[in-house]
Structure 1
């Protein structure tokens, strides 16, 4: 039971989560929301659809750890009657989705086991080799120019190329998948078209691998799905789970690489940590997940009954958004805001509770992100920001916190040609 607060809670005026401030100064916005509303703030999603944004670390731990009270079943939402059929945020909310994100209990655990088993079978040396090869190819394409955009021409391309290879996509499908995934997650006018492109591409791959299995993630999931606990997983269920895996594996990892490089170029504390030696890269990148996690907010959880959360009266069916970046800077758990968290891995960047990112998926993301940063350090050692740090623009997405561009300059070199 969550007891009612001892003092009456005054009505609060929700604020729009989207807007220019989320792009220009998200940390300031989250601080102001916390100062105004406390650990849980009322927010509006375009067009004026209400939700709760969890800002407190302890409250976020509570929500993600109690799947009985805060469910992933989007069918519980009490605002569906207000949602347009072409709502750009719909792909990330998940109405009618049958993916692993929206299941619970034994069925959820069975599907997580199929995903984990397929990714766990990925050879770590092969994974590292794929990541290095694609990273070198991307650097080769720009190294002779002496300048590039490390988001558009590197970070935004690397993870999906690695994942596409692991899944079984042809190399030429990578650019289209990148564009579609960006549109889907940004939640703007092309979001639904991006979702359709990804879904159609994945369905074709699943059908092909069902007919002609190979040594890849999709084939392993199809094989494991036939013997999963309970009823066998359908091709539709496997397709939905693969879309989730691709989206969660590419976008946050691309943002992780981009945010790491940004901090290296703009934050002296982080640069000293990252450049302290190759053995410190993993720890330095863990700090990025605290300082500027690529997944800022997550949709979401839905209250299964009336309850209290952070002093707010949450009603049955209310949407609760997970404010990961805000929780990482909660002053109650990070009393010294200027101190880097070092080896502390108690962040929410990979989730928490029943719907935490499977460990093999975390390992894949970590290898790809770390390799991406290490290749840049090796190939472009005198890298420098080509524009004022204040002019860097973040994505307009209410969910992701990565940059749209990261212009840099460096000493031109010859490609490796390998």
Structure 2
């Protein structure tokens, strides 16, 4: 068997699509990879095999206790926040308890009024644009995309506004999976437990209060873990969805019309990003409950399989012409698949935040243009989430509206 591929390095930043093509050509549908510390795993690259893995929760389980590598994992392993053992969150429950857990989360999110959600998103987006619209230049990742989702989410979840900036830093540290990952996870946990204590004492019209009121009997620990998952999954991928969509619209002639007032291209650009530049590249993971075969590979009981969402979306068997608009085709894997996919209400919330953020920005700054050549734009060096490092732009200075800063 050919040598495993380290799941790290600059190519995930500079040319992931080409890297996945090479891995598929050399290894087939399922490639051997190495995580931090040379920990072995499998990366599922092809659409059909990924559909099989995510559609069979018995054979390919979310129960991380099955992992056959735990004796090699140190207590300070930077990927523990993403591949945790005995975490009582929705990510690692299985069977009927998972289905009840997912229903509790979906019900809490579904009760968010879409008109109120959009109003919050518009207010915060306008406030963020107000902070730089008079300067004639801005950096849209740090000054806009990275700030908008978490501000809206903390509002609907019930978190005090002043905790938003600290949560942004903590979430980014945790998701990047480097030396600050465990500290970021600790900050997030403290914030969430504090939120639940406050809402138990004084409930409100928010997601956390609705979770506490659910009659299913879940513990505070379980609800706290679920809120942490909802924060992480709702913030960074949505921020990257905004950033990647803006990059596409600013660099691809197919979307130039939207910068002069068109509205149809915003939705098209966002869907194109979910296919060709998805914020969530790879996800950990599934564990084989017994010996099996997948994509011509012998998978041992307890092996970890990573879900190659970006690679599967680009599988030439399902996405033949990468230059063509995907239109309304939403058969991508960007929100996952199967019983552990992103709940539909969460997808809707992310889409409202991202689309509103893009539309407000284009309405306010219609002559937005890149301040650097497109080739100079860079990405974060992560194999997990794909987003822009920065997105510098110029525009005609305009007066502030006086929105929420």
TM over 0.5: yes
Of 60, 66, 71, the residue aligned with 2:56 is 66
What is the root-mean-square deviation in Å for CA atoms of aligned residues? 1.3
The equivalent of 1:284 in structure 2 is: 269
Distance in 2 of aligned mates of 1:271 and 1:45: 40
* Other structure's SS at 2:213 match: helix
Q: Deviations over 1:121-150 (max 9, x none)?
A: 111100000000000000000111111111
The answer to whether 1:370 aligns with 2:360 is no
* Other structure's SS at 1:92 match: coil
Of 262, 275, 280, the residue aligned with 1:295 is 280
The answer to whether 1:248 aligns with 2:233 is yes
The equivalent of 2:168 in structure 1 is: 178
The equivalent of 2:138 in structure 1 is: 148
Q: Deviations over 1:188-229 (max 9, x none)?
A: 1100000000000000001111111111110000001xx11x
The equivalent of 2:212 in structure 1 is: 222
- Name stretches of at least 5 consecutive residues in structure 2 with no aligned partner: none
The equivalent of 1:8 in structure 2 is: none
Please say if residues 41 and 53 of structure 1, whose CA atoms lie closer than 8 Å, have aligned partners that are also in contact. yes
Please say if residues 299 and 321 of structure 1, whose CA atoms lie closer than 8 Å, have aligned partners that are also in contact. yes
- 1:127-166 equivalence runs, <5 A: 127-166=117-156
TM-score (norm 1): 0.94
Q: Deviations over 1:217-258 (max 9, x none)?
A: 10000001xx11xxx100000000000011111111001000
Distance in 1 of aligned mates of 2:257 and 2:35: 39
- 1:209-358 equivalence runs, <5 A: 209-224=199-214, 227-228=215-216, 232-272=217-257, 277-358=262-343
Displacement after TM superposition at 1:94 (Å): 1.9
Displacement after TM superposition at 1:267 (Å): 1.9
Q: Deviations over 1:37-87 (max 9, x none)?
A: 111111111111111111101111011001011111111111111112111
Label 1:217 to 1:205 Cα distance change in 2 as closer, same or farther (>3 A). same
Residues matched between the structures, number? 403
Displacement after TM superposition at 1:280 (Å): 4.1
Distance in 2 of aligned mates of 1:213 and 1:109: 25
Distance in 1 of aligned mates of 2:319 and 2:165: 40
Displacement after TM superposition at 1:12 (Å): 2.3
Please say if residues 75 and 95 of structure 1, whose CA atoms lie closer than 8 Å, have aligned partners that are also in contact. yes
- 1:112-127 equivalence runs, <5 A: 112-127=102-117
Displacement after TM superposition at 1:170 (Å): 1.1
Label 1:335 to 1:150 Cα distance change in 2 as closer, same or farther (>3 A). same
The equivalent of 1:37 in structure 2 is: 27
Distance in 1 of aligned mates of 2:145 and 2:275: 19
The answer to whether 1:416 aligns with 2:397 is no
The equivalent of 1:13 in structure 2 is: 3
Label 1:102 to 1:275 Cα distance change in 2 as closer, same or farther (>3 A). farther
